[in-house]
Copies of this chain bind each other. A is one copy, B any other.
């Protein structure tokens, strides 16, 4: 039993606590009771901020999606050859993923049991679809190798990008910086690991 503390939460700080609990227990496995315990305030105090846990999920997922979709409107994503825009979007996606790590982690783990989860999955597919479009355009320009199918290439690119949430731990000593991870992904995906001499 924890003593209830005075509710000094802002919407942002309460959201940060909720996202931590969602990622640890899974969204389905999280009750208002769990959230109340983790935040150290009563359930009715939480209801003072939000309608319930689904609203917290929506806010958290929106934060991840806003970050990701904003990348697609940046100049580097809208001007120039498709292959360069694709590299730019890959790099910036990694940067957003690391800057908003718990929020994007939640987005990637969502499974589709509620309306909010299904909406999240649909928006995520929309993002993937936009990137797949860039990849197809780059392939049509002749800037991508022809022996890897565009759909497979998209899957593998996102496989690499999304894996970052599974292993990147910024607090670990000697952890790579956001830039180093972004460079590694871009170099690996576009230029390959192997040197040819």
A residues sitting closer than 8 Å to B (CB atoms) are 83, 87, 142-145, 147-149, 152-153, 155-164, 166-167, 176, 180-181, 183-185, 187-195, 197
From B147, B159, B190, A183 is in contact (CB under 8 Å) with B147
Q: How far is the CB of A170 from chain B (nearest CB, A)?
A: 14
Copies held by the complex: 2
- State whether A176 and B149 are in contact (beta carbons under 8 Å apart), knowing that A188-B192, A189-B188, A195-B144 are contacts in the complex: yes
Q: What 9 pairs across the A-B complex have the smallest Cβ distances?
A: A159-B163, A192-B192, A191-B192, A190-B194, A152-B184, A159-B160, A148-B184, A160-B160, A156-B160
Instruction: Chain B residues near A159: list those with CB within 8 A.
Output: 159-164, 166-167
Residue pair A184, B83 in contact (C-beta under 8 Å): no
Residue pair B155, A163 in contact (C-beta under 8 Å): yes
Instruction: Chain B residues near A183: list those with CB within 8 A.
Output: 147-148
Instruction: Chain B residues near A163: list those with CB within 8 A.
Output: 155-156, 158-160, 162-163
